[in-house]
Amino acid sequence: MSSRPRRPIRERTSAVLDPRARAEAIFERLSAARPDPHTELRYRDPFTLLVAVVLSAQATDAGVNKATEKLFAVAPTPEAMVALGEEGVREYIKTIGLYRTKAKNLVALSRAILEQHGGQVPRDREALEKLPGVGRKTANVVLNEAFGEPVIAVDTHVFRVANRTGLAPGKTPLEVEKKLLEVVPERFRKGAHHWLILHGRYICTARKPDCPNCPIRDLCDHYARVGPTASGTAPAGKGGKGS
């Protein structure tokens, strides 16, 4: 009498943990791999961070860093950015996508900072979002990175990882952000979006996630559904790039 072949046993920890417990386990591992995560954008202060984040929309951090290295040498302050003007700014950022619109926004937000905030980047989300070219994600990055606020910025990497893993599924960035704030333990909130961005950029990539080297795959809904995507899978959390 023949028996049916057994399916490979897959790690299914994600199915037995409640959302908060799973979130804590995920960030325990991601924080162990990168204890002090930060943005890969280069900046000097809140103003140059704001400029870099505005420029990073639909652009790579490497491309932004290359442009801002020269831009910040001549316009590291709101006063200098206004003095440089749109045409001058365009010359420094023309290698970046949407550079004309971004140049216009950088000069306008610099002028607004001078006229409405005494030359200082406001430490308030509502005020930040009123600046030209600044949306909720950009405001959250500045609040988190420059001012140490435990807010979570949701970019394309965070959105993908949160949905793919089941950590905080949502149809919009705002929905994902709210769910992350519900499940991420307070002690991990300051670094949460940095860990998710780096995980999405180097492991949980858009086209082909590197599941064999993922330190949280046993906590992931996607992996529970599809199983190993490559041979030689080692136990989760041991070995590989993500450990």
Q: Which of 26, 23, 99 is nearest to 63 (CA)?
A: 99
Extract the residue ranges of the chain whose pLDDT is less than 70. Answer: 1-16, 228-243
Answer whether 12's CB lies under 8 Å from 221's CB. no
Indicate if 70 belongs to the active site: no
| Cα distance between residue 228 and residue 210, in whole Å | 9
pLDDT at 160: 97
Per CATH, the number for 13-34+151-226 is 1.10.1670.10
Q: Is 94 helix (H, G, I), strand (E, B) or coil?
A: coil
Residue whose structure tokens are 């949460």: 192
At residue 33, the 3 state secondary structure works out as helix
Quote the CA–CA distance of 94 and 135 in Å, as a whole number: 22
Q: Give the pLDDT score at 36.
A: 87
**Residues belonging to the chain:** 243
Provide the whole-model pTM. 0.84
pLDDT in tens, 141-159: 999 999 999 999 999 999 9
**With contact defined as beta carbons under 8 Å apart, do 180 and 168 qualify?**
yes
Q: How far apart (Å, rounded) are the C-alpha atoms in residues 228 and 211?
A: 7
User: Which tokens sit at 227?
Assistant: 């199983």
Domain boundaries, the chain: 13-34+151-226, 46-145
Active-site residue identified among 155, 179, 190, 238:
155
Q: From CA 176, how far away is CA 225, in angstroms rounded?
A: 21
**Catalytic option among 137, 179, 190, 208:** 137
Has 36 been annotated as catalytic?
Answer: no
CATH code of the domain made up of 46-145 = 1.10.340.30
Half-sphere exposure of 172 (CA within 13 A, CB side): 5
